[in-house]
Amino acid sequence: MVRMSILLGASAVALMGLAGCSKSVDASKEADAIRVGEVQWNASVVAKDVAGYVSHYAPNAVVMEPGAAAVNGTQAVQTAINQTFQDPNFSLIFSADRIEVSKSGDMAFSQGHFTASQSDPTTHAKVTQTGSYVTVYEKQADGSWKAVADIASPGKS
């Protein structure tokens, strides 16, 4: 009986120690990091910096844009954005209206609005479109946030 009490006591102390070691997620701090990342992402668009743009995606990312087939993986994203950045009328500005971080701190999403311009394939005239987006992020081993799914939808934002 004494031995059982000692084992139970030791187990309780060990569990309390483990509970103290569990990581606490500061959702506000993580959301701010994502917000800063999206500001940098916008800057890479303005600079037409393909490598900078692609650096915001995880290797297994999926990108879905209006009127285009889904693009899978950073190599495919790089190929697509390299072509897009060659369009003299291309511009993109996006901004999060909401950022939510999971309780575990390993996943998050941003939901917001965008304005994009590009050349019409037939007339070559500048066409501007607005819409909404959702980007799903995964926290990386180095502590950075990378997009694993990036989905845009045209229409009023």
Query: Which CATH number covers residue 94?
Result: 3.10.450.50
Q: By the 8 A CB rule, do 147 and 135 touch?
A: yes
- Look at the block and give the residue holding tokens 């285009």: 68
Q: Is residue 10 part of a domain?
A: no
Residue-wise burial string across 114-136, b where 16 or more C-beta atoms lie within 10 A, e elsewhere: bebebeeeeeeeeeeeebbbbbb
Q: Residue 156: its pLDDT value, please? A: 73
Per residue in 20-30, pLDDT (tens digit) is 445 689 999 99
Q: Is residue 13 part of a domain?
A: no
Distances 79 to 36, 62, 93, 111 between C-alpha atoms, Å? 25, 13, 20, 25
Q: Residue 98: its pLDDT value, please? A: 98
Q: Residue 135: its pLDDT value, please? A: 98
Per residue in 5-49, pLDDT (tens digit) is 333 343 333 333 334 445 689 999 999 999 999 999 999 999 999
Q: Is residue 53 part of a domain?
A: yes
Q: Residue 66: its pLDDT value, please? A: 85
Q: Is residue 98 part of a domain?
A: yes
Q: Residue 67: its pLDDT value, please? A: 85
Label each residue of 38-62 as H, E or C. Answer: HHHHHHHHHCCCHHHHHCCEEEEEE
Q: Is residue 5 part of a domain?
A: no
User: How many structural domains compose the chain?
Assistant: 1
Q: Is residue 83 part of a domain?
A: yes
Q: Is residue 11 part of a domain?
A: no
Domain range for residue 62?
Answer: 25-154
CA distance 143 to 120: 40
Q: Residue 17: its pLDDT value, please? A: 38
Distances 140 to 6, 51, 87, 115 between C-alpha atoms, Å? 41, 18, 32, 28
Q: Is residue 18 part of a domain?
A: no
Q: Which residues of the chain, if any, have pLDDT below 50?
A: 1-21
Distances 118 to 32, 42, 90 between C-alpha atoms, Å? 30, 16, 4
Beta strands at 91-101 and 107-119: parallel, antiparallel or unpaired? antiparallel
CA distance 103 to 25: 7
